[in-house]
Structure 1
Amino acid sequence: MSHRSKTGFTLVELLVVIAIIGVLVGLLLPAVQAAREAARRMSCSNNMKQLGLALHNYHDTHNSLPFWSYQSPDNIVYSSFIAILPFIEQQALYDQITSATTINGVTYPPYGIYTFDSDYTPWYTHIPGYVCPSDPGSGNNQGADQGRNSYCFSLGDWTPDRHDTSTRGPFARRKAFNFSAILDGLSNTIAMGERGIGDSTSTISGGRIKGRFVVSHTSVGSSPTANNPITCLATVGTSGMYKTTFQTRGPGGIAWRNGSTGVTSINTILPPNGPSCNRESDFGMRILTTASSYHPGGVMALKCDGSVTFITDSIDTGDLSSPSVAQGPSPYGIWGALGSKDGSEVVTLP
């Protein structure tokens, strides 16, 4: 004789119902997760469109794009994110940064100077439009963290460091380009791309690929053209991690105010979500800074015309065994061509 519960079901029937519910939840969960990611990706795309609008408004005002980075006399490196603050409705923050300001009884000169003083609140300001909600690091902004960034300025198919004023991309250190310098066309040139936010500036063995780079790697040469990017690919382990035989650091996106290569730049050489490699351990030096994101299959990229496109991990990267070039077409396929502002390439995305 079967016993019925207060619900009117026998125990066996109740177990069957529970099992069916479990199956339905299992079937629905991926769809729910996909819908949430689609919403996050749309928000991320909208953030990049706003950054594109900010760059165009900056250009209209100053007849040029901003510097990618500027190194002050006291050796602090600032990024373009500061310059565009007035154009993303952050005029008050920009004024505070660029003027002498008193905080908790301490008067700071313009741009703070005391970069790592936690009382200088401008550097610790979280700006939602600078981070992608798909990145788990975007919401992990604690009191000790400077304001983060998921988006980085493109230096093209070169590896300049913070001391170089030349670049193949639309941005450079202490050198501003206007749109007329982008000979390949605004719709054919990448202005910004995503990069996963790093987890630590500490050096460890292995670590996740997104936001981290391999230190002191031979794939990066002593000049912007002396690279062998294919050897950087050999640092990749399994499950999105570096091999533990390599030492890595993770400063990607840890401070939007920082104009160092490892923090606010990408180049268009290695395919999206691939590894990054540094000539040294200092994250302001020459780095193969590879675009990355937490969107399945690729990254969002902002073109110089203000449009946003999705770049897949499988985009053509040409000959990665080739060194970078000083002029002419990029050796790194469609991805490299999208990075160079004056390579005379014809670009067609699939």
Structure 2
Amino acid sequence: MYRPWLTTIGTLRCPSDPGDGLPAQGRTNYAFCLGDAIQQTDEGYTSVSGFKNSTRAQRARESCRGAFVPRKTMRFRDILDGLANTVVMGEIKTDLGDRDASTELIKSTTENILRTNPGVCGSQRDPERPAFWLQSLGSGFAFTGGAERRRGYAWSFGNAMNTGFHTILPPNSEICASNWVNASGGSSNGAYWGEGVYSTSSRHQGGVHVLMGDGAVKFVTDSIEAGQSSHATVRQGGTSADPVFATTPGSPSPFGLWGMLGTRAGKEVIDEPF
């Protein structure tokens, strides 16, 4: 293991987060905004093995709507909605090994269901302790295990699980993935997670801090208007009413104000405070 990648850098830590040491590989409390869609936001234009094709590129153009796109150089000029209206970074908690739903990843075993219902894993939160997962998950869900599937455990790892987030579910919501991706780009029990829904989170009461494109730091509450958590996402194969809002490529965000803030070129009009 490359020793610098195991080093904890104080600049990347939030004083409110008590997580420390192993099994993490250099903790971080800050992540990059991937937008309000799921498809292809795990790999972007290029697979983990460096494989490219026209289908992958088209899906990335349609769904990678955030300020950051995996394996692609992005610039301020790409943010057409205005720097003051676009979230570029946000807080994430690091996992403490306590089955926190916003830091320990679980898997939906139904292929691609997150694209059409990103809130599906919410049913597995303990109703008596909603910040945590049930101790025994229901049919169709599974704990992932392993330190590589815990939030904030590797600042050097550029995948969505470790250093990315979506503006789909409100802050401090659960994180959930759908399939494994191995080093050759195939589905297996590999070291990388594929598509998922990764939320912002923090140890602060009631919300998280986000960084806007113009450098402003704002506090976003857990109650920000975020549409319907079970609504389908914008993607290749989306429809004009899916089931309520359009999800065809280029459609406005179906996730309310929170979703709008996460897109770089959605052309939505943001006229309410947050």
Aligned partners of 1:161 and 1:284 also within 8 Å: no
Structure 2 counterpart of 1:164, which letter?
Answer: G
Aligned partners of 2:41 and 2:69 also within 8 Å: no
How far does residue 230 in structure 1 lie from its aligned partner after superposition?
Answer: 3.1
How far does residue 217 in structure 1 lie from its aligned partner after superposition?
Answer: 4.6
3-state SS, counterpart of residue 27 of structure 2:
coil
Structure 2 counterpart of 1:208, which letter?
Answer: D
How far does residue 127 in structure 1 lie from its aligned partner after superposition?
Answer: 0.8
Larger radius of gyration: 1
How far does residue 208 in structure 1 lie from its aligned partner after superposition?
Answer: 1.5
Residue 134 (1) aligns with residue 16 (2): yes
User: How many Å separate the matches in 2 of 1:314 and 1:219?
Assistant: 30
Aligned equivalent of 1:285, options 189, 194, 210? 194
2:100 is aligned to 208
Aligned equivalent of 2:82, options 185, 201, 206? 185
Structure 1 counterpart of 2:196, which letter?
Answer: I
1:173 to 1:235, Cα distance in 2 relative to 1, 3 A: same
Q: How many residues align?
A: 221
1:231 to 1:274, Cα distance in 2 relative to 1, 3 A: same
Q: Mind listing any 5+ residue stretches in structure 1 that lack a counterpart?
A: 1-116, 201-205
User: How many Å separate the matches in 1 of 2:222 and 2:96?
Assistant: 22
User: How many Å separate the matches in 1 of 2:231 and 2:42?
Assistant: 23
How far does residue 125 in structure 1 lie from its aligned partner after superposition?
Answer: 1.6
How far does residue 218 in structure 1 lie from its aligned partner after superposition?
Answer: 4.0
More helix by share: 1
Structure 1 counterpart of 2:36, which letter?
Answer: D
2:118 is aligned to 229
User: How many Å separate the matches in 2 of 1:155 and 1:168?
Assistant: 7
1:129-168 equivalences under 5 Å are 129-137=11-19, 140-142=20-22, 145-159=24-38, 160-165=40-45, 166=60, 167-168=64-65
Q: Percent identity?
A: 37
CA-atom RMSD in angstroms: 2.1
3-state SS, counterpart of residue 108 of structure 2:
coil
1:122 is aligned to 4
1:145 to 1:274, Cα distance in 2 relative to 1, 3 A: closer
1:341 to 1:316, Cα distance in 2 relative to 1, 3 A: same
How far does residue 306 in structure 1 lie from its aligned partner after superposition?
Answer: 1.0
1:316 to 1:163, Cα distance in 2 relative to 1, 3 A: same
Aligned partners of 2:179 and 2:193 also within 8 Å: no
Q: Mind listing any 5+ residue stretches in structure 2 that lack a counterpart?
A: 46-59, 182-191, 235-248
Residue 314 (1) aligns with residue 223 (2): yes
Give CA-to-partner distance per residue, 1:191-248, whole Å, 9 cap, x none: 0111111246xxxxx92113112213549548xxx33123232122132111223233
1:145 to 1:234, Cα distance in 2 relative to 1, 3 A: closer
3-state SS, counterpart of residue 129 of structure 1:
helix
Q: TM-score, normalising length from structure 2?
A: 0.74
2:203 is aligned to 294
1:1-350 equivalences under 5 Å are 117=1, 120-137=2-19, 140-142=20-22, 145-159=24-38, 160-165=40-45, 166=60, 167-199=64-96, 207-218=99-110, 220-221=112-113, 226-237=115-126, 238-239=128-129, 240-246=131-137, 247-249=142-144, 250-280=149-179, 283-325=192-234, 326-347=249-270, 348-350=272-274
